[in-house]
């Protein structure tokens, strides 16, 4: 299995990106920021490719600089919940370029129709996929994930990697999460999450002053509200934590990310948001 490397979480994969020796990295944003931290600390020039809320944060490969020999994109993207079409992601591939696709939340999408994992390392040199086991299975303390790519790209990524980066517990977790019964449960869970997301989106969209951004497909929603800081403080006061959006390039303080929960749980969030929004009117 030369096309697979088990990682101490996808975070380890991002920390290893400077090993690829890129001359210029293009990071598609808004998105997870750990890749940028690792690359900037290594002195790699970084350019943002900002997606636009006006078209649902759609990915446009033509906006990526041609001289970028490393491109990092999330799919589905955190925090926008956008799911980019598979063919659009593959259009980023160029000779001499490494394209890293962060699919940490892909197993929460029923059927994974837009995943490029199946073709990474098989006829598409330079395409690399990071997958995480800590989202669906809620085991972040173990930091379990893996990278998929062609053997040459994986060898460059893991060059001079510290010895024994993955312990026995992580290896056991990877094995257990990839067994047929676990895969079947994850697929069923993705269907349930999809149904819950639709219900949560509908409930929040009915609240005046709350806009659900884009066409969400991941197990979270990106909201835009009138007073993000005030709403976040209000929610914190009633025991609800949401993710602030202004730490993501391209977003501002009025953006909030909320997790999808079953209807019996998300009702508390919806009522708290409604109470605050009604107080603004």
**DSSP annotation string for 180-227:** HHHHHHHHHHHHHHHHHHHHHHHHHHTSTT-EE-S---SSEEEEE-S-
Reported as a pLDDT band with limits 50, 70 and 90, residue 152 is: very high
Reported as a pLDDT band with limits 50, 70 and 90, residue 135 is: confident
Identify the structural domains of the chain with CATH numbers, from first to last.
Answer: 4-178 (3.40.640.10), 192-280 (3.90.1150.10)
Q: Residue 141: what pLDDT?
A: 76
* Alpha-carbon gap, residue 263 to 196, rounded angstroms: 7
* Alpha-carbon gap, residue 263 to 185, rounded angstroms: 20
Q: Residue 136: what pLDDT?
A: 87
**Closest alpha carbon to 146 in 168, 122, 127, 170:** 170
Three-state DSSP at 164 gives coil
Share of the chain above pLDDT 90, in %: 85
Query: How confident is the model over 106-134, as pLDDT tens digits?
Result: 999 999 999 999 887 666 889 999 999 88
pTM above 0.85, yes or no: yes
CA angle in degrees (0–180, nearest 5) for 222-34-242: 30
**Closest alpha carbon to 156 in 10, 9, 22:** 22
**Closest alpha carbon to 157 in 22, 24, 9, 67:** 22
Share of the chain above pLDDT 70, in %: 98
- pLDDT at residue 1 is higher than 70: no
- pLDDT at residue 77 is higher than 90: yes
Residues making up the chain, counted from first to last:
281
Q: Residue 185: what pLDDT?
A: 95
- pLDDT at residue 187 is higher than 90: yes
Arithmetic mean of pLDDT, 195-206: 97
**Closest alpha carbon to 157 in 124, 133, 127, 118:** 127
Three-state DSSP at 50 gives strand
* Alpha-carbon gap, residue 270 to 263, rounded angstroms: 10
């Amino acid at each position: 299995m030369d096309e697979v490397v088990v990682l101490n979480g996808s975070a380890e994969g991002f920390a290893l990106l400077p090993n690829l020796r890129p001359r210029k990295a293009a990071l598609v944003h808004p998105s997870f920021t750990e890749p940028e931290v690792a690359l900037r600390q290594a002195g790699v020039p970084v350019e943002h490719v900002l997606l636009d809320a006006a078209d649902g944060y759609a990915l446009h490969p033509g906006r990526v600089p041609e001289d970028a020999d490393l491109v990092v994109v999330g799919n589905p993207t955190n925090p926008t919940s956008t799911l980019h079409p598979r063919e659009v992601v593959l259009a980023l591939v160029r000779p001499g370029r490494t394209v890293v696709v962060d699919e940490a939340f892909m197993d929460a999408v029923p059927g994974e129709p837009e995943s490029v994992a199946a073709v990474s390392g098989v006829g598409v040199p330079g395409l690399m996929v990071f997958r995480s086991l800590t989202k669906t299975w809620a085991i972040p303390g173990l930091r379990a994930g893996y990278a998929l790519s062609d053997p040459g790209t994986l060898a460059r990524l893991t060059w001079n990697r510290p010895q024994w980066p993955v312990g026995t517990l992580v290896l056991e977790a990877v094995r257990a999460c990839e067994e047929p019964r676990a895969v079947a449960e994850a697929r069923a869970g993705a269907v349930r999450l999809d149904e819950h997301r639709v219900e949560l989106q509908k409930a929040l969209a009915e609240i005046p002053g709350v806009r659900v951004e884009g066409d969400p497909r991941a197990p979270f929603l990106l909201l835009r509200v009138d007073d993000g800081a005030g709403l976040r403080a209000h929610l914190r006061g009633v025991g609800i934590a949401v993710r602030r959006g202004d730490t993501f390039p391209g977003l501002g303080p009025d953006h909030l990310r909320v997790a999808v929960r079953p209807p019996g749980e998300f009702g508390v969030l919806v009522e708290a948001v409604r109470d605050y929004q009604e107080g603004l009117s």
